[in-house]
Amino acid sequence: MILEKTQTHQRVIEQISVLNAKVDFMNDTALSNALTYLEEKGIPNNKNEEYKYCNIDSILKTDFKNIQQQFNTVSTINNLRLNDCLTLVVVNGNFSEKLSDKLVLKGVKLFSFNSLENSGKQLLTAAAKSNSDSFIALNTAFSGIGFHLKILKNEQTQIPIQILYINSASAESFVNPRNIIELEENSSATIIEHYINIGTHKVFTNFVSEKYLAQNSNLKSYTLQNETSLGYGVYTNQVKVNKHANYQNTTVTLSGRLVRNNHQVILSEDNCEASLFGLFKTSNNQLVDNHTLIDHQKPNCQSNELYKGIIGDKSTGVFNGKIFVRKDAQKTNAYQSSKNVLLSDEGCINTKPQLEIFADDVKCSHGTSTGKIDENALFYLNARGLGKESAKKLLLSAFANEVIDKIEVDSLKEIIESQII
Amino acid sequence: MSNEIIQEHINKDYEWGFITNVESETFAPGLNENVIGALSKKKNEPEWMLEFRLKAFRHWQTLSQPSHWANFPYPKVDFQATSYYSAPKKKPELKSLDDVDPEIRKTFEKLGISLEEQKRLSGVKSNIAVDAVFDSVSVKTTFRETLSEKGIIFCSFSEAIQEHPELIKKYMGMVVPYTDNFYAALNAAVFSDGSFCYIPKGVRCPMELSTYFRINTGGTGQFERTLIVADENSYVSYLEGCTAPQRDENQLHAAVVEIIAYKNAEVKYSTVQNWYPGDKNGKGGVYNFVTKRGLCIEDNSKISWTQVETGSAITWKYPSVILKGNNSVGEFYSVAVTNNYQEADTGTKMIHIGKNTRSTIISKGISAGFSNNSYRGLVQMRKGATNARNFSQCDSLLMGDKCGAHTFPYIEIKDKTAVVEHEATTSKIGEDQLFYCKQRGIDTEKAIALIVNGYCKEILNKLPMEFAVEAQKLLAVSLEGSVG
């Protein structure tokens, strides 16, 4: 077992590193930590508690036998642009200045990893420690050229920023996109991270984003995953929230053979707030695994989670939500809910809502429910003249709308509404 | 204010910490095939039993001691430093009660367990058949004659091996095979005694059956096995209680309980666990690593676990039900109280295989002092478990800011018609609740008792009356009036 584990990660490293340039924007300690960690831990299989329902090791073993890192060039993105946003483009893991809009917004700065400021260099790997997780380590070692997006002090950006991650490969490939999103004091922004695949071959996306919210800042972020059946990915978000700041994320997964979201939010000072919402609809042999961790470190913070899944065919949905309440985090208010509908006989849903509480004056609760479509509701609609299919659709969209309604960007909402059911 | 009563609870000494002076025959510490051979010989066991033990032992040697899932470090148990057999020297195989060593009798009297038939238990008049296990052996089983009139077999495990080998051969290891886990393998290799119970077809057991476990000798571990078989259309309610003397060392208790329920049978298993929990600084105490599992093998059967866990330094215990028969029902009701440096990690597994199977899980954790209290459970809906239904609720109550409460529920669903609901809350006794009570003239102490009682009532209601009385005492907060 151990031998096989070593083999996978060594092969993957070997095959990725062939064509990758040396990552020279990463600091040396982080780099060497990353490689040591990988060497020790390898790529997790289902013996690892965190990856119990998501055996990435075996998926890499069978579906990515020969990673060749061959990509198509992408010359236009017009039909992928959201019309009410400014768009930044990342092609096959690297930031493309050519395809991106000029960021004409006041108070917004953008640095490519090749021209990072000192402050940016310090933020890189500060939240996503290279020795905390195999995929973060792998990304650190082979990071694509990402960017550092910074919203300056006291700036309220009105126009949402769309970050488009386009993968287009002409042979099995493995990409490591990475970014830093920083909100300075009293600033606010809306960000949409949109993943798509337009190539002809399988691509594994190992994404890492570090998000820093300074005092009183407010970040609304949306994630739309639509990488088709050629898309595989581990998407890691490491978020650090400071005093009185507010972080909100809505993640919608429309397609992707393997989607693993690692969303970690650290409420590092008092009176901050985080909300995580998610919606996924799976079909065929998809595996969608949402892992969230909200770490309440200081008093008077709030968190709220709602994840909904619609599982069809032979697909598997996983929700694992962890809430930590540390000793100091009195007056914490944490709420978590996961609801799932199982549509097929061969689908499978695994949930594990986990609370770990070390403070006494807290209000924490979680709830999860799984079931089929309510027969009575179906009958009610049938009796009123709705066909079976459309009645089912109506009920499912009502189920999904609870999450979709959290989306405040119209163009994004339209895409999701048109594709989810 | 609220702290006082918590403090009182925390400071309360362990009542059952006395040691009985009885001459014992104890094996030297250590574990190897010879020890197992000697143990088997001591108990005059047939060849097949020894083979079973050795097979389990050889398997056990290939396993490593688990430690990874706990939230806390615990010192590795040295299995060579434990003695695997200890028995009161006076042979307890005599018919009359007068033959039981008076010291042992006194011990059980002191614990409120009457070895005299038709007497009282915990101050409540009742009919309960007791199998009293003292260290490694069963000293007395009461009411055997009354029970055997109905065809019920209730005796110690060793006797069952001698007298009903066909039943033991058939059922032992059926639900918990020796390959199940580290401690189940250890138990299978070295178990010393325990209780066996068989309820024949169509019989409703007229009284509560009970096993009372007492660890007395220092440096010993207790490894007992309980096997309950309920044949078609039968019913039995089974109680289990346990205490141990106060010692500075950690003692190991690794039991296995197996329950098998046939068509339309119902088994209700209640535990009040009060092993010595260690002192205020976390020194000493019993490690309680127990494997309990029930199998609803045929249609319409029902197994219900109720537990009140107050003792032990570390508890790992997951009474589970495999719902194989159609329409079978599994239930798990638990109150776990921890204080000082106790660690309780308990929960259940409900494996739904049959159609229309139902399970209910209600778990209440109360943590005080520096303790940690975890609920860890699995609800699994296998494919084909059509219309299976589960409801789980796990609540935690925190008293003081140095303790922890955790929940780790695993929910795996592979059938689209299955409906699963899970909810959990964590809270402390609300200032507003206290205020409400005080406003109505109820003082703080009584108000807390009231709230805690209300919090646990759902579970205490499930206990047989005799146990509810003991459980109340154990909760160490004077609860109101009658429960149960």
Count of alpha carbons within 13 angstroms of residue A278, beta-carbon side: 29
DSSP state of A46: T
Search chain B and give the residue with CA nearest A337: B423
Length of chain B (residues): 484
Of the residues B412, B419, B448, the best mutation for testing chain A's interface (the one with the most A CB atoms within 10 Å of its CB) is B412
Cβ within 8 Å, pair A372-B416: yes
Cβ within 8 Å, pair B424-A346: no
d(CA B291, CA B177): 11
- Which H or E element spans position A7? helix A2-17
Name the 3-class secondary structure at A204: strand
CB nearest B417 (choices: A362, A368, A372): A372
Asked whether the predicted pLDDT for residue A245 surpasses 90, the reply is yes
Token pair recorded at residue A101: 């809009």
For residue A327, which residues of chain B lie inside 8 Å, CB to CB? 401-402
CB nearest B404 (choices: A343, A344, A358): A358
Search chain B and give the residue with CA nearest A49: B69
| B371 to chain A, closest Cα gap in Å | 10
Stretches in chain B below the pLDDT threshold 50:
1-3, 5-7, 9-10, 91-95, 117-126, 476-484
Name the 3-class secondary structure at A278: strand
Token pair recorded at residue B430: 């609300």
Tell me the one-letter amino acid at B163. Answer: E
Touching check for B297 and chain A: CB below 8 Å?
A: no
Cβ within 8 Å, pair A355-B406: yes
Cβ within 8 Å of B, A 131-160: none
CA A279 to the chain's CA centroid: 12
Name the 3-class secondary structure at A75: coil
Touching check for A369 and chain B: CB below 8 Å?
A: yes
Cβ within 8 Å, pair B416-A347: yes
Token pair recorded at residue B144: 């055997």
Higher pLDDT, B206 or A343: A343
Search chain A and give the residue with CA nearest B376: A354
Cβ within 8 Å, pair B413-A350: yes
Q: What is the DSSP string of A281-317?
A: EE-TT-EEEEEEEEEE-STT-EEEEEEEEEE-TT-EE
Touching check for A349 and chain B: CB below 8 Å?
A: yes
Cβ within 8 Å of A, B 61-90: 69, 71
**Which of the residue ranges A230-239, A290-299, B445-454 would you say has the lowest mean pLDDT?**
B445-454
Dihedral of alpha carbons A73, A77, A80, A85, sign: positive
Search chain A and give the residue with CA nearest B409: A352
3-state SS of chain B?
Answer: CHHHHHHHHHHCCCCCCCCCCCCEEECCCCCCHHHHHHHHHHCCCCHHHHHHHHHHHHHHHCCCCCCCCCCCCCCCCCCCCCECCEEECCCCCCCCHHHCCHHHHHHHHHCCCCCCCCCEECCEECCEEEEEEECCEEEEECCHHHHHHCCCEEEEHHHHHHHCHHHHHHHCCCCCCCCCCHHHHHHHHHCCEEEEEEECCCCECCCEEEEEEECCCCCECECEEEEEEECCCCEEEEEEEEECCCCCCEEEECCEEEEEECCCCEEEEEEEECCCCCCCCCCCEEEEEEEEEEEECCCCCEEEEEEEECCCCEEEECCEEEECCCCCEEEEEEEEEECCCCEEEECCEEEECCCCCEEEEEEEEEECCCCEEEEEEEEEECCCCCCCEEEEEEEEEECCCCCEEEEEEEEEECCCCCEEEEEEEEECCCHHHHHHHHHCCCCHHHHHHHHHHHHHHHHHCCCCHHHHHHHHHHHCCCCCCCCC
Cβ within 8 Å, pair A354-B406: yes
d(CA A303, CA A313): 33
The pLDDT value given to residue A268: 94
Touching check for A354 and chain B: CB below 8 Å?
A: yes
Touching check for B400 and chain A: CB below 8 Å?
A: yes
d(CA A277, CA A400): 11
DSSP state of A20: P
Helices B465-475 and B444-460 pack at an angle, to 10 degrees, of: 140
Q: Which residue has the tokens 């594709």?
A: A419
For residue B426, which residues of chain A lie inside 8 Å, CB to CB? 355, 357, 362-365
Cβ within 8 Å, pair B424-A349: no
Q: Is B78 exposed, middle or buried (0-12, 13-18, 19+ CB in 10 A)?
A: exposed
Touching check for A366 and chain B: CB below 8 Å?
A: yes
d(CA A326, CA B402): 10
Touching check for A328 and chain B: CB below 8 Å?
A: no
Cβ within 8 Å, pair B413-A327: no
Kindly report, residue by residue over A375-404, the tens digit of the pLDDT: 899 999 999 999 999 999 999 999 999 999
| B268 to chain A, closest Cα gap in Å | 28
b/e map A353-364, b = 16+ CB within 10 Å:
bbbbbbbbbbeb
Tell me the one-letter amino acid at B203. Answer: V
For residue B345, which residues of chain A lie inside 8 Å, CB to CB? none
Touching check for A54 and chain B: CB below 8 Å?
A: no
Beta strands A363-371 and B419-427, pairing class: antiparallel
Cβ within 8 Å, pair A365-B403: no
Percent of residues, chain A, with pLDDT higher than 90: 63
d(CA A292, CA A336): 10
* Assembly ipTM: 0.82
Search chain A and give the residue with CA nearest B430: A361
| B292 to chain A, closest Cα gap in Å | 23
The pLDDT value given to residue B118: 43
Residue from A267, A280, A273, A227 nearest A248 by CA: A273
The pLDDT value given to residue B469: 65
Task: Quote the pTM value.
Answer: 0.84
Residue from B327, B407, B312 nearest B361 by CA: B407
Cβ within 8 Å, pair A352-B71: no
For residue A392, which residues of chain B lie inside 8 Å, CB to CB? none
CB nearest B407 (choices: A354, A363, A372): A354
CB nearest A354 (choices: B402, B408, B413): B408
Search chain A and give the residue with CA nearest B69: A49
Residue from B408, B345, B332, B407 nearest B371 by CA: B345
**Which residues are A309's β-sheet partners?**
A280, A340
Cβ within 8 Å, pair B411-A352: yes
Length of chain A (residues): 421
d(CA A120, CA A127): 12
Kindly report, residue by residue over A30-55, the tens digit of the pLDDT: 888 888 898 888 888 888 888 888 88
d(CA B418, CA B429): 35
Touching check for B412 and chain A: CB below 8 Å?
A: yes
b/e map A12-46, b = 16+ CB within 10 Å:
bbebbeeeeeebebbeeebbebbbebbeeebbbbe
Token pair recorded at residue A46: 């289902």
Q: What are the sequence ranges of the domains in chain B? A: 2-475
CB nearest A356 (choices: B401, B406, B418): B406
Tell me the one-letter amino acid at B133. Answer: V
For residue A315, which residues of chain B lie inside 8 Å, CB to CB? none
Cβ within 8 Å, pair B422-A357: no
- How many angstroms separate the Cα of A42 from the Cα of each of A6, A21, A36, A69, A287? 6, 22, 10, 21, 21
CB nearest B424 (choices: A359, A360, A366): A366
| A74 to chain B, closest Cα gap in Å | 41
Kindly report, residue by residue over B295-338, the tens digit of the pLDDT: 999 999 999 998 888 877 888 889 999 999 999 999 999 888 88
In contact, A350 and A46? CB cutoff 8 Å: no
Touching check for A389 and chain B: CB below 8 Å?
A: no
All residues at 6 or more sequence positions from A124 whose CB lies less than 8 Å from its CB, including other chains = A25, A26, A27, A30, A113, A116, A148, A180, A210
Search chain B and give the residue with CA nearest A347: B414
| A324 to chain B, closest Cα gap in Å | 9
What torsion, rounded to 10 degrees, do the Cα atoms B243, B244, B250, B256 define?
A: -50
In contact, B325 and B352? CB cutoff 8 Å: no
Count of alpha carbons within 13 angstroms of residue B121, beta-carbon side: 28
Cβ within 8 Å, pair A367-B420: no
Name the 3-class secondary structure at A173: strand
Cβ within 8 Å, pair B404-A350: no
Residue from A164, A121, A146 nearest A29 by CA: A121
| A265 to chain B, closest Cα gap in Å | 19
d(CA B223, CA B150): 30
| Average pLDDT over every residue of A308-320 | 93
Touching check for B433 and chain A: CB below 8 Å?
A: no
The pLDDT value given to residue B328: 94
For residue A345, which residues of chain B lie inside 8 Å, CB to CB? 383, 415-416
